[in-house]
Amino acid sequence: MDLLNSFIKRNDDIAWRIIDEEALVVDSKDSLIYPLNTVGSRIWELLDGKRPCSEIVDTISEEFEGEKESIKDDVLNFLEHLLEKGLAKECA
């Protein structure tokens, strides 16, 4: 899968809320709560299925400090994790 050109969105069955710039993502299926830091929360907010992952990488690179290549790797790893856990899904 070419994740950079994929469109990913939050799983509609997952409850979540942002509190003080950090998201709490609740997977009721497994009764697990995933706390996301500020960067993870921003990525979560951007997962609307309307933009390719490359645009999410660009946005995070603009809003947070760090080397673009390192940010890209971190964002893509985070997205892969969300997909593996079923918290997000690729748009058709």
- Number of domains composing the chain: 1
Distance between CA atoms of 57 and 43, rounded to whole angstroms? 9
Distance between CA atoms of 61 and 26, rounded to whole angstroms? 27
Q: What is the pLDDT of residue 38?
A: 95
Query: Would 30 be classed as within a structural domain?
Result: no
Query: Would 16 be classed as within a structural domain?
Result: no
Distance between CA atoms of 20 and 11, rounded to whole angstroms? 22
What domain range includes position 81? 3-11+38-90
Q: What is the pLDDT of residue 2?
A: 87
- Is the per-residue pLDDT at 49 higher than 70? yes
Q: How many residues does the chain have?
A: 92
Q: What is the pLDDT of residue 21?
A: 85
Mean of the per-residue pLDDT values of the chain: 94
Q: Smallest Cα–Cα separation from 56: which of 35, 38, 71, 37?
A: 71
Task: Tell me if the pTM is above 0.85.
Answer: yes
Query: Would 75 be classed as within a structural domain?
Result: yes
Structure-block tokens of residue 16 = 């979540």
